[in-house]
Amino acid sequence: MEQNFIRKLIFDEKTRALLIQTLVIGIFAVLIYLVTKQTAYNLEKRGIGTGFEFLNIAAGYDISISLIPYDSNDTHLRAYFVGLLNTLMIAVCGCFLATIMGFLVGIIRLSSNWLFRNIAYVYVEFTRNVPVLLQIILYYTILLHLPKVKQSIIIFDSFYLSNRGLFSPAPIFKDGFSVVIGSLIVMIIFTFFLKKFLKKKQELTGKQYPIFLINSALIIFIPIIFYYLMGMPLEFDHPVMKGFNFKGGMVIRPEFLGMLFGLSIYTAAFISETVRSGIISVSKCQREAAQAIGLKANFIMRLIIIPQALRVIIPPLTSQYLNLTKNSSLGIAIGYADLVHGFGGISLNQTGKAIEIMLIVMSTYLTISLTISFFMNLYNKAVQFKGNI
Amino acid sequence: MTIIKTLFASMILTLGLATANAGTLDVVKERGNLICGSNTGLAGFGNPNDAGVWEGIDVDVCRAVAAAVFGDASKVEYVPLTSKVRFTSLQSGEVDMLSRNTTWTLQRDVELGLEFVGVNYYDGQGFMVRKDLGVSSATELDGASVCIQVGTTTEMNLADYFSANGMSYESIPVETNAEADAAYLAGRCDIYTTDASGLYASRAGYPDPSAHIVLPEIVSKEPLGPSVRGNDSEWADVVRWSLNAMIIAEEKGITSGNVDDMIANSPDPETQRLLGVKAGYGAWLGLSDDWAANIIRQVGNYSESFEKHIGVNTPINIARGLNALYKDGGILYAPPFR
């Protein structure tokens, strides 16, 4: 019996594979254990304190760009969330802008217009062959050479552009504005179902409706009517030059813009290539068939080509989103207060907890990346062909 | 870059590759040169000159240690460190010592496992603004944009000072001194704040230094000094007494010019002990008896180093002030050599 078991271990392919895999995992676990133990020992020997208690002590430094209220008396933990939100903000805005630009450039590269096609070609080849860090620094330096704050460029009497950023009026919502917002949300939901209803009707009767026009009108005008009904519950806080800086209003800082331009222009070049390959991958016959039934060029693109191209585009697009998110950690180069800059930089230096903070920052990026992958995979499944072709 | 450096240093820490307790002095002697963590570039304190040779008063401490250990001040390899990675580099054994305008604080001394061996420059945080702003005091800075080098004691002092005076500000955190200069000169910020010495050093390099003033308020104590790992007191003593030797030499009037004359003729017992005329003192430190004489011969005394790199006859133009000897109205004071 026992001999049989050993024979099986050696000669049975399945059991052998299982044994080897168990061994490898075991060795890996032991290695991790040893490294952790050695680290703890080394730290203790050098008299370096360890632990995560530092998260609850006051950070002591200020962060200018913050989506949540924060001051220097708040804890390192809160500084972490400020940084995390800034990282997410640049990642979301960057991915959004890069996707739009990437799709446009990808389509233009396949255009029959020689000039447009080649401008797109030069753009792609230039941006994707220059390191993104240099591009970020380039855009930031250009922004720094905008006029100084006292000589701001004034746009429409309410926007002020200088090398401190773009200052604009900030909306102040008064009582009753929630009704306007509510009507907007209701309209968006309503038009969604209206579109489905009209589409179905079109399929049944063949009669076409100006769906886009009707829906746009509903979404724009109904909330405006409510806005006037509620007595115009919206005011603006205009920025005013006072002392060194503008007071009041809102500001988009050059650090954010530098990052946004750098990341999205760089990533858009890659996305455009992905889009181009996706479009080329769609069989020529599809386009010819569409032309044969008399569809207009932009309908062919929107209804026939892009939906099929998405199958090819989505997986590499996911990698580009991941790249952009990870590249956002370069914000440190121009003083954009992201996760690595604030928590991973200043907090690290103030507390000296290099290993703990690096662990937190790395697992945060890992979590963000895995989340993006998860949702992109869901979307990928949704756009794949159902059934066999 | 810095993140990779930090990561790498953490990795060394993790794997325990660093020269743990072997005794830094022995390791340095065996290697044949000293690896010194220096500034990434701060004129007068630690900066490569036109010929690529590092110089400055912080660099002189490294050179003094090399002169003491090897009898040759040039046996130093400089590793430029940003303020963010400096402690990790030292802790992990990437450098033997740190001499790059670093403030001595309780937390760094104790919790980071370092040992500060002395003070080679007494400093304080100041503010620099353009003259044409018409500001004459730091209390008039409400609402200003402030450029600030990250990873220093500076951002905490800044937060404290502005909140204590009920003022608001916008902080523009930058990574190095050079980036801070660029942002400040472009007008991204109204104020550049760091240790006053750093402000003087930066200003000396501006296109028109006279267009900028350093405000009179000094908002913190910043004793800057060299540091080593906290678990090696033998090595700490070598660095500590190399610095002390330079200060004592100034007290005793020993210079690089007259050191050989002093060895031959000085009747003063402390001078004789310092210069190794009376034997046996070097052995206590694990060094040769002429270690201090080598420092003074090759690097000079504290005053020589100060006047050469940052004194009133240099573009940086800093008066001795607090950094004069205790006899001359300053607070520079070395323990007796006996």
pLDDT tens digits, one per residue of A164-208: 888 888 888 777 788 888 888 888 898 888 888 888 888 888 787
pLDDT at B18: 44
**Per-residue pLDDT at B168 exceeds 90:** no
B30 contact A CB<8A: no
Residues B118 and B129 in one domain: no
Provide the greatest CA pair distance for chain A. Answer: 92
Nearest to A145 among B170, B186, B229 (CB): B186
Q: Which domain-ending residue is among B180, B198, B220?
A: B220
Query: Cβ contact (<8 Å) for B10 and A354?
Result: yes
Is there a domain that residue A336 lies in? yes
Chain segment B283-327, per-residue pLDDT in tens = 999 999 999 999 999 999 999 999 999 999 988 888 898 899 999
Q: B212 and B99 in one domain? A: no
- Does residue B28 surpass a pLDDT of 80? yes
| Domain identity same for B118 and B70 | yes
How far is residue B11's CA from residue B58's CA, in Å, rounded to a whole number? 28
Question: What is the bridge-based pairing of β-strands B76-80 and B34-38?
Answer: parallel
Give strand pairing partners of B212. B130
Tell me, yes or no, whether B59 and B98 share the same domain. yes
Sequence-distant (≥ 6) Cβ neighbours of residue B307 within 8 angstroms: B313, B314
User: Which residue in this structure is represented by tokens 């054994």?
Assistant: B93
Is A354's CB within 8 Å of B16's CB? no
Q: Do B84 and A242 touch (CB under 8 A)?
A: no
Looking at B220, B253, B271, which one is the last position of a domain? B220
Between A99-103, A225-229, B327-331, the lowest mean confidence (pLDDT) is in A225-229
Q: How far apart are CA B192 and CA B185, in angstroms?
A: 9
Please tell me the number of Cα atoms within 13 Å of B266 on its side-chain side.
Answer: 22
Q: From the CA of A119, how many Å to the nearest CA of chain B?
A: 32
Mean pLDDT, residues B84-104: 89
pLDDT value for B17: 46
* Contacting residues of B for A245, CB less than 8 Å apart: 143-145, 170, 190
Q: How far from B47 is each of A369, B95, B103, B183, CA to CA, in Å?
A: 41, 17, 18, 20
Domain of residue B250: give its range: 2-122+224-328
Residue A130 is part of which domain span?
A: 76-154+253-383
A378 within some domain: yes
- The mean-pLDDT minimum among A8-17, A289-298, B219-228, B321-330 falls in A8-17
Distance of CA A34 to the CA centre of its chain: 38
State the pLDDT at residue B7.
Answer: 58
pLDDT of residue B5: 58
Task: Check residue B63 and give its pLDDT.
Answer: 96
Whether B228 is covered by a domain: the verdict is yes
Instruction: Collect all residues of chain B within an 8 Å Cβ-Cβ radius of residue A337.
Output: 173
Indicate the residue of A42, A72, A244 with minimum beta-carbon distance to B145.
A244
What pLDDT score does A224 carry? Answer: 85
Residues B45, B101 contacting (CB under 8 angstroms)? yes
Give a yes or no: residue A288 inside a domain. yes
Q: How much is the mean pLDDT over chain B?
A: 88
Q: Can you say whether the dihedral through the CA atoms of B127, B133, B137, B143 is positive or negative?
A: negative
Beta strands in chain B (DSSP E): 34-38, 47-48, 54-55, 76-80, 97-98, 114-116, 121-123, 125-130, 144-149, 169-174, 191-195, 212-214, 222-224, 227-229
Pairing of strands B114-116, B227-229: antiparallel
B274 three-class SS: helix
Contact between B150 and A345 using a beta-carbon 8 Å cutoff: yes
Does B91 sit within 8 Å of A243, measured CB to CB?
no
pLDDT given for residue B240 in this prediction: 96
Domain count across chain A: 1
B169 with B265, same domain? no
Rounded CA-CA distance A58/A66 in Å is: 17
Within a domain: residue A70? Answer: no
CA B217 – CA B164 distance, rounded (Å): 14
Are residues B132 and B173 part of one domain? yes
How near does any CA of chain B get to the CA of A136, in Å?
Answer: 14
> Does residue B335 form part of some domain?
no
Which pLDDT value is given to residue A95? 95
The answer to whether the CB of B39 falls within 8 A of the CB of B47 is yes
Chain B hits for A64, CB-CB cut-off 8 Å, are 170-172
Write down the pLDDT at residue A381: 87
Which one of B170, B184, B189, B191 makes the best mutation probe of the A interface by having the most chain A beta carbons within 10 Å?
Answer: B170
Q: What is the pLDDT of residue B9?
A: 59
* Average pLDDT rounded to a whole number, residues A365-373: 92
List the single range of A3-17, A129-143, A293-307, B254-268 with lowest mean pLDDT.
A3-17
Give yes or no for residue A108 having a pLDDT over 60.
yes
- Contact of B117 with B236, CB cutoff 8 Å: yes
Q: Write out chain B residues lying below 8 Å of A244, CB-based.
A: 133, 141-145, 190
- Residue B201 inside a domain? The answer is yes
Separation CA A259–CA A271 (nearest Å) = 18
Q: Is the per-residue pLDDT at B10 higher than 90?
A: no
Question: Residues 171 to 210 of B: which have CB under 8 A from any A CB?
Answer: 171-175, 179, 182-183, 186-188, 190
Cα–Cα distances in Å, from A235 out to A154, A171, A219, A240, A250?
20, 6, 21, 15, 14
At residue B171, the pLDDT reads: 87
Neighboring chain B residues of A340 at a CB cutoff of 8 Å: 3
The verdict on B274 and B312 lying in the same domain is yes
Question: How many Cβ atoms sit within 10 Å of the Cβ of residue A236?
Answer: 14
| Maximum mean pLDDT: which of A34-43, A117-126, A239-248 | A117-126
Q: Is residue B30 part of a domain?
A: yes
Could you tell me which of B235, B243, B222, B195 has the C-alpha nearest to residue B90?
A: B235
Distance (Å) from the alpha carbon of A251 to chain B's nearest alpha carbon: 12
Please indicate whether residue A135 or residue B11 has the higher confidence score (pLDDT). A135
Count how many domains chain B has: 2
Task: Say if the Cβ atoms of B20 and A60 lie within 8 Å.
Answer: no
Claim to verify: residue B100 and residue B68 sit in the same structural domain: yes
How close A185 gets to chain B, by Cα (Å)?
36
Based on the fold, state whether residues B231 and B105 are members of the same structural domain.
Answer: yes
State the count of interchain CB pairs (< 8 A) between A and B.
Answer: 138
Whole-number pLDDT of residue A228: 84
Nearest-CA distance B234 → chain A (Å): 15
The verdict on a CB contact (< 8 Å) between B16 and A350 is: no
User: pLDDT for A38-75, tens place per residue?
Assistant: 888 877 776 677 778 888 888 888 888 888 888 888 89
For residues A364 and A237, the model is more confident at A364
> What's CA B159's distance to the chain center, in Å?
24
Q: Are residues B216 and B231 in the same domain?
A: no
Which chain B residues have a beta carbon less than 8 Å from that of A332? 2-3, 175
Query: Which CATH number fits the domain that encloses residue B12?
Result: 3.40.190.10
pLDDT at B16 over 60: no
Task: Read off the pLDDT of residues B229-279 as tens digits, 9 standing for 90 and up.
Answer: 988 899 999 999 999 999 999 999 999 999 999 999 999 999 999 999 988
Closest residue on chain B to A145 (Cα):
B186
Rounded distance, CA B150 to CA B85, Å? Answer: 11
Q: Are residues B191 and B262 in the same domain?
A: no
Pairing of strands A153-155, A240-242: unpaired
Q: End of a domain among B193, B220, B247?
A: B220
What is the mean predicted confidence (pLDDT) over A106-112? 90
Element (H, E) at A217: helix A211-229
CATH code of the domain containing A139: 1.10.3720.10
Range of weakest confidence among B96-110, B169-183, B260-274: B169-183
Q: Is residue A240 part of a domain?
A: no
* B338 belongs to a structural domain: no
Same domain, yes or no: B41 and B67: yes
Spatial distance between the Cα atoms of B59 and B99, rounded to a whole number of angstroms: 7
Among A349, A350, A358, the residue to mutate for chain B (most B Cβ within 10 A): A349
**Is residue A107 in some structural domain?**
yes
